[in-house]
Homo-oligomer: A and B are copies of this chain.
Protein backbone atom coordinates (compact mmCIF):
# COMPACT_ATOMS: atom_id res chain seq x y z
CA UNK A 1 0.00 0.00 0.00
CA UNK A 2 1.28 3.43 -0.89
CA UNK A 3 0.64 6.76 0.68
CA UNK A 4 0.25 10.22 -0.76
CA UNK A 5 2.41 12.90 0.77
CA UNK A 6 0.60 15.65 2.63
CA UNK A 7 1.39 17.93 -0.25
CA UNK A 8 -0.15 15.56 -2.78
CA UNK A 9 -3.31 15.22 -0.69
CA UNK A 10 -3.67 18.96 -0.46
CA UNK A 11 -3.11 19.33 -4.19
CA UNK A 12 -5.91 16.91 -4.96
CA UNK A 13 -8.24 18.50 -2.43
CA UNK A 14 -7.58 21.90 -3.96
CA UNK A 15 -8.89 20.60 -7.29
CA UNK A 16 -12.43 20.62 -5.93
CA UNK A 17 -12.36 24.42 -6.16
CA UNK A 18 -12.28 26.44 -9.35
CA UNK A 19 -9.52 28.58 -7.96
CA UNK A 20 -7.40 25.52 -7.14
CA UNK A 21 -7.85 24.03 -10.58
CA UNK A 22 -6.84 27.26 -12.25
CA UNK A 23 -3.83 27.75 -10.05
CA UNK A 24 -2.56 24.21 -10.44
CA UNK A 25 -3.71 23.72 -14.03
CA UNK A 26 -5.10 20.33 -13.10
CA UNK A 27 -8.49 18.66 -12.86
CA UNK A 28 -9.86 15.72 -10.93
CA UNK A 29 -11.71 12.89 -12.66
CA UNK A 30 -13.39 10.21 -10.56
CA UNK A 31 -15.06 7.00 -11.63
CA UNK A 32 -14.25 4.07 -13.88
CA UNK A 33 -16.19 5.19 -16.93
CA UNK A 34 -14.62 8.63 -17.19
CA UNK A 35 -11.12 7.32 -16.42
CA UNK A 36 -11.48 4.73 -19.17
CA UNK A 37 -12.49 7.37 -21.68
CA UNK A 38 -9.61 9.63 -20.69
CA UNK A 39 -7.15 6.80 -21.00
CA UNK A 40 -8.46 6.10 -24.49
CA UNK A 41 -8.43 9.66 -25.77
CA UNK A 42 -6.25 11.83 -23.58
CA UNK A 43 -3.52 9.59 -22.20
CA UNK A 44 -0.94 12.33 -22.57
CA UNK A 45 -2.86 14.58 -20.17
CA UNK A 46 -2.87 12.16 -17.23
CA UNK A 47 -0.65 13.53 -14.49
CA UNK A 48 -1.11 10.74 -11.96
CA UNK A 49 -3.73 8.16 -11.05
CA UNK A 50 -4.79 6.68 -7.73
CA UNK A 51 -7.10 3.87 -6.69
CA UNK A 52 -8.47 2.46 -3.49
CA UNK A 53 -7.32 -0.92 -2.21
CA UNK A 54 -9.47 -3.64 -3.76
CA UNK A 55 -9.90 -1.83 -7.07
CA UNK A 56 -9.32 -4.20 -10.00
CA UNK A 57 -6.27 -2.64 -11.63
CA UNK A 58 -6.69 -4.75 -14.77
CA UNK A 59 -9.66 -2.58 -15.70
CA UNK A 60 -7.27 0.22 -16.69
CA UNK A 61 -3.92 0.46 -18.42
CA UNK A 62 -2.63 3.44 -16.50
CA UNK A 63 -0.29 2.81 -13.59
CA UNK A 64 -2.17 3.39 -10.36
CA UNK A 65 -1.05 4.41 -6.89
CA UNK A 66 -2.98 2.17 -4.50
CA UNK A 67 -4.26 3.83 -1.34
CA UNK A 68 -5.95 2.48 1.75
CA UNK A 69 -9.67 3.20 2.09
CA UNK A 70 -9.08 5.92 4.61
CA UNK A 71 -6.37 7.58 2.51
CA UNK A 72 -8.55 7.40 -0.59
CA UNK A 73 -11.54 8.89 1.18
CA UNK A 74 -9.48 12.01 1.88
CA UNK A 75 -9.44 12.85 -1.80
CA UNK A 76 -12.69 11.30 -3.06
CA UNK A 77 -15.89 13.35 -3.37
CA UNK A 78 -18.13 10.44 -4.06
CA UNK A 79 -20.08 8.58 -1.40
CA UNK A 80 -20.33 5.47 -3.53
CA UNK A 81 -16.92 5.78 -5.06
CA UNK A 82 -15.80 3.28 -7.64
CA UNK A 83 -12.34 3.69 -6.18
CA UNK A 84 -10.39 5.35 -8.96
CA UNK A 85 -9.28 8.94 -9.56
CA UNK A 86 -7.21 10.47 -12.34
CA UNK A 87 -5.48 13.80 -11.93
CA UNK A 88 -5.35 15.31 -15.35
CA UNK A 89 -3.90 18.42 -16.93
CA UNK A 90 -6.53 21.08 -17.37
CA UNK A 91 -6.31 22.68 -20.80
CA UNK A 92 -6.19 26.45 -21.03
CA UNK A 93 -9.67 27.74 -21.85
CA UNK A 94 -9.68 30.03 -24.87
CA UNK A 95 -11.41 33.39 -24.56
CA UNK A 96 -11.38 34.13 -28.24
CA UNK A 97 -11.21 32.11 -31.42
CA UNK A 98 -9.40 32.36 -34.69
CA UNK A 99 -11.72 30.34 -36.83
CA UNK A 100 -15.01 28.53 -36.70
CA UNK A 101 -14.65 24.86 -37.50
CA UNK A 102 -18.23 23.66 -37.60
CA UNK A 103 -21.08 24.58 -39.88
CA UNK A 104 -23.06 25.89 -36.91
CA UNK A 105 -22.15 26.82 -33.35
CA UNK A 106 -23.78 26.49 -29.96
CA UNK A 107 -23.47 29.23 -27.34
CA UNK A 108 -24.55 28.56 -23.75
CA UNK A 109 -25.28 31.64 -21.66
CA UNK A 110 -24.44 31.47 -17.95
CA UNK A 111 -25.09 27.77 -17.64
CA UNK A 112 -25.04 26.91 -13.95
CA UNK A 113 -25.93 23.26 -13.54
CA UNK A 114 -22.88 20.96 -13.76
CA UNK A 115 -24.97 18.01 -14.93
CA UNK A 116 -26.54 20.02 -17.74
CA UNK A 117 -23.22 21.50 -18.84
CA UNK A 118 -21.51 18.11 -18.85
CA UNK A 119 -24.35 16.46 -20.72
CA UNK A 120 -24.32 19.17 -23.37
CA UNK A 121 -20.54 18.89 -23.82
CA UNK A 122 -20.85 15.11 -24.21
CA UNK A 123 -23.70 15.47 -26.68
CA UNK A 124 -21.86 18.15 -28.68
CA UNK A 125 -18.88 15.84 -28.96
CA UNK A 126 -21.07 12.90 -29.93
CA UNK A 127 -22.60 14.80 -32.85
CA UNK A 128 -19.15 15.83 -34.04
CA UNK A 129 -18.91 19.49 -33.03
CA UNK A 130 -15.30 20.53 -32.50
CA UNK A 131 -16.00 23.78 -30.62
CA UNK A 132 -18.45 24.75 -27.89
CA UNK A 133 -19.01 28.32 -26.71
CA UNK A 134 -20.27 29.58 -23.36
CA UNK A 135 -20.32 32.86 -21.48
CA UNK A 136 -18.51 33.97 -18.36
CA UNK A 137 -20.56 33.29 -15.25
CA UNK A 138 -21.06 29.66 -16.23
CA UNK A 139 -19.94 26.78 -14.05
CA UNK A 140 -16.32 25.65 -14.69
CA UNK A 141 -16.35 23.01 -17.46
CA UNK A 142 -13.37 21.33 -15.77
CA UNK A 143 -15.03 20.82 -12.40
CA UNK A 144 -15.23 17.21 -11.25
CA UNK A 145 -19.00 17.11 -11.65
CA UNK A 146 -19.00 18.50 -15.18
CA UNK A 147 -16.23 16.10 -16.15
CA UNK A 148 -18.21 13.17 -14.80
CA UNK A 149 -21.41 14.06 -16.71
CA UNK A 150 -19.42 14.70 -19.87
CA UNK A 151 -17.39 11.51 -19.33
CA UNK A 152 -14.38 13.61 -20.20
CA UNK A 153 -15.58 14.98 -23.53
CA UNK A 154 -14.30 18.44 -22.52
CA UNK A 155 -10.78 17.17 -23.10
CA UNK A 156 -11.65 16.28 -26.70
CA UNK A 157 -13.22 19.47 -28.02
CA UNK A 158 -12.35 23.13 -27.87
CA UNK A 159 -14.18 25.13 -25.21
CA UNK A 160 -14.31 28.88 -25.64
CA UNK A 161 -15.44 31.21 -22.87
CA UNK A 162 -16.73 34.56 -24.12
CA UNK A 163 -17.50 37.63 -22.05
CA UNK A 164 -21.21 37.89 -22.70
CA UNK A 165 -23.82 37.20 -25.34
CA UNK A 166 -23.41 40.56 -27.05
CA UNK A 167 -19.64 40.24 -27.35
CA UNK A 168 -20.05 36.69 -28.57
CA UNK A 169 -22.49 37.67 -31.30
CA UNK A 170 -20.10 40.35 -32.56
CA UNK A 171 -17.24 37.87 -32.65
CA UNK A 172 -19.37 35.31 -34.48
CA UNK A 173 -20.47 37.88 -37.04
CA UNK A 174 -16.90 39.06 -37.58
CA UNK A 175 -16.01 35.45 -38.29
CA UNK A 176 -18.58 35.02 -40.98
CA UNK A 177 -21.63 33.64 -39.21
CA UNK A 178 -24.78 34.73 -41.02
CA UNK A 179 -27.57 34.19 -38.51
CA UNK A 180 -28.08 34.02 -34.76
CA UNK A 181 -30.96 32.07 -33.23
CA UNK A 182 -32.16 32.58 -29.68
CA UNK A 183 -33.96 29.56 -28.22
CA UNK A 184 -37.27 30.34 -26.57
CA UNK A 185 -39.61 27.89 -24.84
CA UNK A 186 -42.73 29.49 -26.29
CA UNK A 187 -42.20 31.42 -29.48
CA UNK A 188 -40.22 31.48 -32.68
CA UNK A 189 -39.80 29.34 -35.75
CA UNK A 190 -39.97 25.60 -35.16
CA UNK A 191 -36.57 23.92 -35.01
CA UNK A 192 -38.02 21.13 -37.13
CA UNK A 193 -39.21 23.22 -40.05
CA UNK A 194 -36.88 26.23 -40.14
CA UNK A 195 -34.89 25.60 -43.31
CA UNK A 196 -31.83 27.69 -42.48
CA UNK A 197 -31.39 26.84 -38.81
CA UNK A 198 -27.97 25.27 -39.30
CA UNK A 199 -26.75 27.30 -42.25
CA UNK A 200 -23.69 29.10 -40.97
CA UNK A 201 -25.51 29.98 -37.77
CA UNK A 202 -25.23 30.27 -34.01
CA UNK A 203 -27.90 28.87 -31.65
CA UNK A 204 -27.98 30.40 -28.16
CA UNK A 205 -29.37 28.70 -25.05
CA UNK A 206 -30.14 30.64 -21.86
CA UNK A 207 -29.48 29.57 -18.31
CA UNK A 208 -31.69 27.13 -16.40
CA UNK A 209 -32.98 29.75 -14.02
CA UNK A 210 -33.36 32.94 -15.99
CA UNK A 211 -33.57 31.93 -19.64
CA UNK A 212 -32.58 34.46 -22.27
CA UNK A 213 -33.65 38.05 -22.68
CA UNK A 214 -34.66 39.28 -26.10
CA UNK A 215 -31.57 39.96 -28.20
CA UNK A 216 -31.59 42.50 -31.01
CA UNK A 217 -30.81 41.14 -34.44
CA UNK A 218 -31.53 37.52 -33.54
CA UNK A 219 -34.35 35.21 -34.57
CA UNK A 220 -36.30 33.12 -32.07
CA UNK A 221 -36.37 29.37 -32.49
CA UNK A 222 -38.53 27.05 -30.41
CA UNK A 223 -39.03 23.33 -29.85
CA UNK A 224 -42.66 22.31 -30.33
CA UNK A 225 -44.11 20.58 -27.25
CA UNK A 226 -47.50 19.03 -27.79
CA UNK A 227 -47.78 18.01 -24.13
CA UNK A 228 -48.19 21.60 -22.90
CA UNK A 229 -46.09 20.81 -19.86
CA UNK A 230 -43.46 23.15 -18.48
CA UNK A 231 -40.51 23.43 -20.86
CA UNK A 232 -38.02 20.57 -20.99
CA UNK A 233 -34.71 20.58 -19.18
CA UNK A 234 -31.96 22.70 -20.77
CA UNK A 235 -29.77 19.74 -21.70
CA UNK A 236 -32.78 18.10 -23.37
CA UNK A 237 -33.52 21.21 -25.40
CA UNK A 238 -29.91 21.40 -26.56
CA UNK A 239 -30.01 17.71 -27.43
CA UNK A 240 -33.12 18.11 -29.56
CA UNK A 241 -31.52 20.93 -31.55
CA UNK A 242 -28.19 19.12 -31.93
CA UNK A 243 -29.76 15.92 -33.18
CA UNK A 244 -32.03 17.80 -35.56
CA UNK A 245 -28.73 18.87 -37.11
CA UNK A 246 -27.62 15.23 -37.30
CA UNK A 247 -30.91 14.24 -38.87
CA UNK A 248 -30.52 16.81 -41.62
CA UNK A 249 -26.99 15.64 -42.29
CA UNK A 250 -28.24 12.11 -42.61
CA UNK A 251 -31.05 12.74 -45.07
CA UNK A 252 -28.92 14.99 -47.26
Chain A residues close to B by CB (< 8 Å): 37, 115, 119, 122-129, 149, 151, 153, 156, 190, 192-193, 223-233, 235-236, 239-240, 243-244, 246-247, 249-251
Asked if A250 and B224 sit within 8 Å, CB to CB, the answer is yes
* Chain B residues with CB below 8 A from A243, complex form: 223, 240, 243-244
Which listed residue (B227, B249, B250) contacts A126, Cβ 8 A? B227
Cα distance A235–B19 in the bound complex, in angstroms: 32
Chain B nearest Cβ from A43, distance in angstroms = 16
Asked if A123 and B244 sit within 8 Å, CB to CB, the answer is no
* Chain B residues with CB below 8 A from A233, complex form: 119, 122-123, 149
How many chain copies does the complex carry? 2
Asked, given contacts A193-B250, A249-B226, whether A236 binds B127 with beta carbons under 8 Å apart, the answer is no
Cα distance A123–B115 in the bound complex, in angstroms: 17
* Chain B residues with CB below 8 A from A229, complex form: 122, 125-126, 153, 156
User: A118's closest neighbor in chain B, by CB?
Assistant: B233
* Chain B residues with CB below 8 A from A249, complex form: 226
| 18 CB-based A-B contacts, threshold 8 Å | A119-B236, A122-B233, A123-B233, A123-B236, A124-B227, A125-B229, A126-B230, A127-B226, A127-B227, A128-B225, A190-B250, A192-B251, A236-B239, A239-B240, A240-B243, A243-B244, A244-B247, A247-B247
Asked, given contacts A115-B115, A240-B239, A240-B240, whether A126 binds B232 with beta carbons under 8 Å apart, the answer is yes
User: A41's closest neighbor in chain B, by CB?
Assistant: B229
Could you say which of A119, A128, A236 has the most chain B C-beta atoms within 10 Å of its C-beta? A236
Cα distance A156–B230 in the bound complex, in angstroms: 12
Chain B nearest Cβ from A152, distance in angstroms = 9
